[in-house]
Amino acid sequence: MASFRINFNVNLRCPSDTPRLSSTCQLLPLQSQCSPCPALSLSNSIPSNTLNPKKISLPNSRPSSCVAVRSHMATEEKPVSEDRMLVFVPPHPLIKHWVSVLRNEQTPCPIFRNAMAELGRLLMYEASRDWLPTVQGEIQSPMGVASVEFIDPREPVAVIPILRAGLALAEHASSILPATKTYHLGISRNEETLQPTVYLSKLPEKFPEDSRVFVVDPMLATGGTIVAALNLLKELGLQNKQIKVICAVSAPPALQKLSEQFPGLHVYTGIIDPTVNEKGFIIPGLGDAGDRSYGT
Residue 91 preceded by cis peptide, ω within 30: no
pLDDT at 14 over 60: no
Per-residue pLDDT reduced to its tens digit, 123-144 = 999 999 888 888 999 999 999 9
* Mean of the per-residue pLDDT values of the chain: 76
pLDDT at 61 over 80: no
pLDDT at 75 over 70: no
Sequence spans of domains, the chain = 4-294
Distances (CA, A) of 259 to 12, 32, 62: 11, 30, 9
pLDDT at 62: 41
> Is CATH 3.30.70.2740 the right assignment for the domain spanning 4-294?
no
pLDDT at 279: 86
Average confidence (pLDDT) over 30-59: 34
pLDDT at 99 over 90: yes
- Is residue 273 exposed (0-12), middle (13-18) or buried (19+ Cβ within 10 Å)? buried
Query: Which of 12-21, 176-185, 246-255 is the least confident region?
Result: 12-21
Q: Are 73 and 53 in contact (CB under 8 A)?
A: yes
Q: How confident is the model at residue 109 (pLDDT cuts 50, 70, 90)?
A: very high
- The Cα 288–Cα 278 span in angstroms is 15
Average confidence (pLDDT) over 82-106: 92
pLDDT at 187: 87
The pTM of the full predicted model, rounded to 2 decimals, is 0.73
Q: How confident is the model at residue 176 (pLDDT cuts 50, 70, 90)?
A: confident
Q: Of residues 95 and 130, which shows the higher confidence score? A: 95
- The Cα 131–Cα 177 span in angstroms is 12
pLDDT at 55: 37
pLDDT at 114 over 90: yes
Residues 6+ apart with CB under 8 A from 243: 213, 214, 215, 230, 233, 262, 265, 266
Q: How confident is the model at residue 165 (pLDDT cuts 50, 70, 90)?
A: confident
pLDDT at 94: 96
- The Cα 248–Cα 131 span in angstroms is 20
What is the Cβ-side half-sphere exposure of residue 252, based on CA atoms within 13 angstroms? 23
Q: How confident is the model at residue 194 (pLDDT cuts 50, 70, 90)?
A: low
pLDDT at 295: 84
pLDDT at 32: 28
